Structure 1
C-alpha cells in the first residue's frame, strides 16, 4: 500500500507530494497510456472522478457530459423528486450502447491553410481529438489526430498539412460514402476496427463524422436524504436507472443513517448499491459498513463552500481522515470484502487528486466542476451582470456561481432546509454551514476534464505506476514543510502566462 514519509496528523492534500519512481523496466508505456479506469461496487468507470450532488453544480447537461466521459455525476437530492429523476432519465435516455454509432453532422474542422495553433485551440475548446481538415469548398483532405505529448511541444506555426494524415482518395484512409446506411457504416467500422470514420459525399466534401461507442452505457448516481419520504425518492430513482444511490447527509455516523442503510437493503435487496456518507473516522466507516454500506464517502468541512469546521468546530482534515479510514478499510478487506472510498471535499486541482487517489478509490468535486459551461451555475459577464444558465453565450462568461448545500441560499429554496438536521427536526437547524461565491469560468466540460485526466495520468506515470491499483501499491508520499510549499508552484516572478 502507499507509504507516507512524515507525520500526517492534521493534514490536507496540499501537505504532500508524491515521490517519482521507476515504471516497470519492460514497459514502453507513455503517460497517455496510464489506465485510470476504476470500479465501484461492480459499476465500471473510465475515470475515478465524480461530480458533487450540489444544485449549483450537477444537472442534466453536466450529468450527461460526465457519463459520456466515463465518470459519474450524482444528481442532487435538494431538488424535487421529479427533477432529480429527470436528471437520471436524461442520462439513461441518451446513453449509447456498446457498438452503436452516432453521427456528428456539423463537426469541428480546420482548413488546409491553417496552422497547428488553430487546430490546438479548437481541440482544447471542444475536447475533440480527431479533427477533419477541409478546403475552402469543404473538400475533405485529411485528419488531424491530437496527441498532447507530441503536439503541445511542437512549433505552433507548423502548417497543418505537414502534420495531418493526408487523404488521397485512393484507399490510404478509411472513409464511408454519403449513400451508405447506418448498418452498412457500422459493419464497415466493425470489420476495420474503427472508432471513428469520416463520411464524404460523391464529390469528396465532408458530410459528417461517425463514431462507434466502445464503452458501457453512461453511468449516473443519485442522492437521497435520511428524512421521512426517502424511500419513495429512492424507488423512483432506481426505476429511472440510477447506478448507485448516495446517502446525502453531512454527518452519517448517526443512528438515522444506519437505520436507512438497513431499511434500504430490505426494501431494495435487488436494487443498486448504496454509498453511505459522509463520515471522517474509522469508527464512522465501520458503522456504515456494519449497517450495509457498499461504499463510503469521506469529508466534513474541507469543501470550498463549507463552513462547518469554522462554525461548529467539528470535522477532520481530509488527508488524515482518508489515511485513517483507508487503514481500517484495508483491515476489513482482509476478510474478503473491499469497500471503496470516495474523497469528498477540498480537492482544488490535479495535484490534490493525485494525492487523494493514493489512498482513496474516487474523488468527488463541486468547485472542481462548477466552473464548466454545462454546470447549473448562474453566470457573470465582464460587466458584473448575472444571468441564469442558458442566457449568456459562452464567449461572454467570466465567472460561475457556486453555493453550498448548507448555505443560506440553499436553505431559501425548497429541499435542503433539513440536510444538516436530524430526521426528527421539523424545521431543520438554524446554523448556516455554507457560503456562496464565484469561480472563474473554465470553458466546456469535456476538454477541461480531459486536461485534468491527462495531468493525473502524468503524475501517476512519474510515480512509477501505469494504473491505479499499482499506484496505490507503489506510491510514496512525503510531507512538505510550509517553506517547501512555497517552492511547489511558480514563485519569485511576475507571471505573464500559464
Structure 2
C-alpha cells in the first residue's frame, strides 16, 4: 500500500521531450496520421470532445473535413442525437444514396416545407414505384406565389434531365456535370428507378478536403457518445442506424461494472461499429476494458480544465503518467489509446503521443471556436463562449431540464468557464498541428509510431 501512495506521477507540465539528432528536413514531410480504432485512420490525430459546449454536428463536420473526428455528445434525446449524426453523414459525399424525394401530386407549399425541413435547395420527384419523374429546385419556384400549385406543374420533367446510370465513376460524373453545366446528376437503374444523386457541390467539397475522414461511401465519419444506464442499447442502435461510425461510452469513471456491462451488452448484440470505452487512468482499467471488448481506451480522470473530480473526489492519476501506463498495457493487445484532457498547448499533444497515445481529445481548446455549440458573448469588448465540464452543475441541470427528477444529491465534479472566442476551429487545429509537427521534428520522428519510440 505504501508503494502505491508514494509512487511518482507526472502531468504534461512536469515533463519535456528531449531533443534528438534529427534527420527531418521539412515538417511538411512528417506524417501525423494515426489509428482511432482498427480500420479507421485519422490524418489529424485529434477528436473534439463529447461535451455539450464542444461537439454537435457543425463541429463534427469541421473536424472530419480536416482529417480528425468529432464525438457528438449524448445530452439530448435519442432522436435528436441521431438527427445530428445524419446531418454529418449527409453533409458531404460525392454521391447521395438516398436523396430526398417528393411525389408529383404534392403541392408547392408541401415542397417548400420539405426543403426547409431537410435543409436542401432541391427535391427529386418520383412516382409510387420510385421511378424518376423530374426535379424541383429553388430556381423553379422562387417567383411562384401560389403554394397550392402541384409539383408536377413546376418541376423540370424527366425528359429534360441529364441522368446517369448507377455505379458511374467519380471522374466520369465530373465530366458530365462540367459538359452540361449542371449542378445535379440523378442516378437511375435500368428500370428508371432513382438510386442516387451526385452534385457538383459535393464533388467540389471532396476536392477541397483531400485529408477528410471518410467512410467507404465517401461520407464524413462521425462518432457519438452513449451512457451506461437504461436505454444505452436503444440509443446505440439508433445512432448506428443513423450512420455513426464509432460509439463512445461516456462516463467519468470507466473502470466500473456499468461500463463493463454496457460493453458486453453492445458486443453481444452485434452493434456493428467499434466501441471506445473510458475514461481510464490505470493499466488495470485498460486491461479490464480491453477484455470486455473495447476497441480503444479513452484515458483521463480529472485532468481537464473544466473538470474538478480531483478536487471534489480526491481521485485521479496525473495525465502523462496515466497515458504512459495505459498505453503500455494496451499496446500488448494493439488497442489504441486516446489521451483525453489536460491539453493546454500543442506541446502537450506531442507529449501525449510521445507517451503512447494514438490520438488526443480536446475540449476547452475547441469550446471557444465558431463551430462549437452555444452563443458568443461580449464582455468588456472581448468575445467569449461558454465551456463546462460534463459533470458540472449547469450541464447536469441542462440534461435534466425536461425530467421530473430531483437533483438534491448531485455533487458537481466540473465547472463552467468563459473561454475566449477563437474564430474558426480550422485555425485552431492548424496551429495545433503545426506545434505537433514541430515537436516530432525535434524528436526525430517522421510519423506517430516513431514518436512512440
Question: Does the alignment reach a TM-score above 0.5?
Answer: yes
Give the structure 1 partner of residue 388 of structure 2. 403
Identify the residue that residue 38 of structure 1 maps to in structure 2. 34
What is aligned with 1:234?
236
Q: Which residue in the other structure is 1:68 paired with?
A: 65
Deviation digits for residues 449-485 of structure 1 (CA, Å, limit 9, x no counterpart)? 1121111111111211111111112xxxxxxxxxxxx
| Other-structure match for 2:359 | 362
SS of corresponding position for 1:328: helix
Give the one of 424, 441, 447 matched to 1:467.
447
Within 5 Å, give how 1:25-424 maps onto structure 2. 29-39=25-35, 40-97=37-94, 182-183=177-178, 211=207, 214-215=210-211, 216=214, 217-269=219-271, 271-330=272-331, 332-333=332-333, 338-358=334-354, 359-383=356-380, 398-414=383-399
TM-score, normalised on structure 2? 0.70
Is 1:439 the counterpart of 2:419 in the alignment? yes
> Relative to 1, partners in 2 of residues 1:213 and 1:312: Cα closer, same or farther, differing over 3 Å?
closer
- Counterpart for residue 133 of structure 2: none
- 1:333-353 CA distance string (max 9 Å, x none): 3xxxx1100111111110111
Q: 1:213 to 1:302 in 2, by over 3 A?
A: closer
Check the 8 A contact 1:343/1:364 in 2, yes or no: yes
Higher relative contact order structure (alpha carbons within 8 Å, sequence separation ≥ 6): 1
What value does the CA root-mean-square deviation take over the aligned residues?
2.9
Cα offsets for 1:137-194 (capped at 9, x unmatched):
xxxxxxxxxxxxxxxxxxxxxxxxxxxxxxxxxxxxxxxxxxx8635599xxxxxxxx
In the TM superposition, what is the alpha-carbon distance from 1:22 to its structure 2 partner?
2.8
Say if 1:23 and 1:461, in contact at 8 Å, map to a contact too: yes
User: Structure 1 residues 461, 412: closer, same or farther in 2, change over 3 A?
Assistant: same
Larger helix proportion, structure 1 or 2?
2
Which segments of 5 or more consecutive residues in structure 1 lack a partner in the other structure?
A: 1-6, 99-179, 187-207, 385-396, 419-424, 474-498
- Relative distance call for 1:417 and 1:357 in structure 2 (3 A) is farther
Contact 1:220 1:243 in 2 (8 A): yes
Are 1:66 and 1:72, in contact at CA under 8 Å, matched by a contact in 2? yes
1:464 aligns to what SS in structure 2?
A: coil
TM-score, normalised by the number of residues in structure 1 = 0.64
What secondary structure does 1:398 align onto? Answer: strand
Structure 2 Cα separation of the partners of residues 368 and 8 of structure 1: 30
Match in the other structure for 1:20? 19
Deviation (angstroms), 1:12: 0.6
What SS is found at the alignment partner of 1:73? strand
